[in-house]
Structure 1
């Protein structure tokens, strides 16, 4: 088991009613997850509303999570974008002494060619002092990083150790699993597909729903890594409705509604996102009651 096998969570950024960061709720959420089986934590990813937090807020959020974690689990920090020079500048200016790896999204909006994506990550690899987890999420970037490009990067750069694949494309996952170097990790970013990917040889997940239901979700992943498919799928089936619900409007409004129902955070998000609708909140409460029964 490497430090990034198992269940990672893309942690939310909790906000108070006045839209400021709720550091107490954040620290409590970290502790709740570590005590219930989460293996590592990803800071300031999409689910953390990274595009609407300031640079200073990101620094303070990272400090809170580092302190709350107290070296109990590895930490991954989101540093990515479509301006290669700006990404390099952020890497160079960020204190990464308590960070085990960065998660770096494939360039969005600009729609670079596969060669452009390769050169982007080659430049990042040259300056990054910690390991790099690539992040392919074509539904948000409008550009798919192909398995061939991912594998090329994996073979060429030792500090590129994994990819978070979130294209919801089983065929692409299987190509990656077939062709990857032995020690390169394929991490699922799709909560609904992860168990099948783990059973096929994937390393685990960077999950959204996992932070609300860490005990159940991490047990499912652990069973999958052990090849205990029947037991793992029993948990998967129990979690299917909730997993679908949290993505039915927007992320992270859905997961924040779950965490609100659990008393772990407020539902507040920053514009242009809006809170989960009253209808979705009721569906989530009903789904939680079914899980408890």
Structure 2
């Protein structure tokens, strides 16, 4: 899975004023990310407001991104949920010919035990026709997939090839990095600590901010992978203020404001999410204007 080393971006779903999907804006964002040098694209993750999309809209997002990408970059599809049977059913029926892997989140709301998490991903591994990236994001799921469980999955199932680790805990990530199988990848799911995770042995990041500042962010990760620490941290500190801002009032509200400020897409979100306030809008716009000064 060398193609998934570096920066992947979790694409937003842009909406028009009537809250329908803006496929033209989505195409612009795909092209902007690719031109900026990211290594792969993640389709229908949390940042895509997946929870508020109908099945038909999800298919529209997929077909739009596949058409815009034109085979240029590997695509990863978000296929997850808290009902194992439904996830397995999708894996058994969907055509994955356009995708290099799936990204599957640890079950949310149910709060399973570590054994329950293991059995969930075991079922996904058995059903999946493509490699699996497991996804730990305790802030959204209310349960933490512990390093012991991650390592158990990594050792037991050859097609579980990576974890997107978004606990925000560098020590936990380092525990996995220390004991993981050689080819198992630890991918940061937290933009602010992506560089330290790469320097500790991580394979890169699945990023939110990377689609808004693809040139700078993907170069930072490449520098980190090449152990050019000083140069990498220079870029990190140039972007750190923006990383804080895009999550200040929730994701993807912040990154959608970045796209509005860049003129690529409007910043509409579907309830219960709302746009950033005027103060944050102005600060994000000012940051973009000053970035290359």
Query: C-alpha displacement at 1:279, in angstroms?
Result: 1.0
Query: C-alpha displacement at 1:60, in angstroms?
Result: 1.2
2:238 aligns with 238
SS of residue paired to 2:46: coil
1:271 aligns with 271
SS of residue paired to 1:24: helix
1:22 aligns with 22
2:55 aligns with 55
**Count, aligned residues:** 293
Query: C-alpha displacement at 1:292, in angstroms?
Result: 2.5
SS of residue paired to 1:148: helix
2:282 aligns with 282
Measure, in 2, the Cα distance between the counterparts of 1:40 and 1:166.
18
2:10 aligns with 10
Measure, in 1, the Cα distance between the counterparts of 2:147 and 2:170.
12
SS of residue paired to 1:292: coil
Tell me the alpha carbon deviations over residues 167-198 of structure 1, each in whole angstroms, 9 at most, x when there is no partner.
00011011011011000000000000000110
1:167 aligns with 167
Q: What pairs with 1:30-45 in structure 2 (closer than 5 Å)?
A: 30-45=30-45
Greater Cα offset, 86-95 or 261-270: 86-95
Q: Please give the TM-score of this superposition, normalised by the length of structure 2.
A: 0.99
Q: What pairs with 1:157-236 in structure 2 (closer than 5 Å)?
A: 157-236=157-236
Q: What pairs with 1:52-201 in structure 2 (closer than 5 Å)?
A: 52-201=52-201
Measure, in 1, the Cα distance between the counterparts of 2:144 and 2:119.
15
Query: C-alpha displacement at 1:101, in angstroms?
Result: 0.6
Measure, in 1, the Cα distance between the counterparts of 2:137 and 2:97.
27
Query: C-alpha displacement at 1:261, in angstroms?
Result: 0.1
Query: C-alpha displacement at 1:286, in angstroms?
Result: 1.5
Q: Which runs of 4+ in 1 moved over 4 A?
A: none
SS of residue paired to 2:173: helix
